Amino acid sequence: MQRILKITTDGSFTLFVPSLNEHFHSVHGAFTESNHIFIKAGFNYIAPHFEAINILEFGLGTGLNALLTIQKSLEIDKPIFYHALEKFPVLPQEFSFDKALLSTFDNLNLQEILYQHWESDYNIDKNRTIHKSQIDFNDFVATQKYHLIYFDAFAPEIQPELWSPLLFQKIYDAMEYGGMLLTYCAKGQFKRDLRSVGFTVEGLPGPPGKREITRATKSFC
The one-digit pLDDT tens for each residue of the chain (221 residues) are 899 999 999 999 999 999 999 999 999 999 999 999 999 999 999 999 999 999 999 999 999 999 999 999 999 999 999 999 999 999 999 998 878 778 877 778 888 999 999 999 999 999 999 999 999 999 999 999 999 999 999 999 999 999 999 999 999 999 999 999 999 999 999 999 999 999 999 999 999 999 999 999 999 86
The CA distance from 211 to 204, in Å, is: 8
Contact 21, 202 (CB under 8 A): no
CB atoms within 10 A of CB 37: 25
- Of the CATH numbers 2.40.110.10, 3.40.50.150, 3.30.530.80, 3.30.70.270, which one belongs to the domain with range 36-217? 3.40.50.150
Domain range list for the chain: 36-217
Would strands 128-133 and 80-85 be described as parallel, antiparallel, or unpaired?
parallel
The CA distance from 208 to 182, in Å, is: 17
Give the 3-state secondary structure of residue 129.
strand
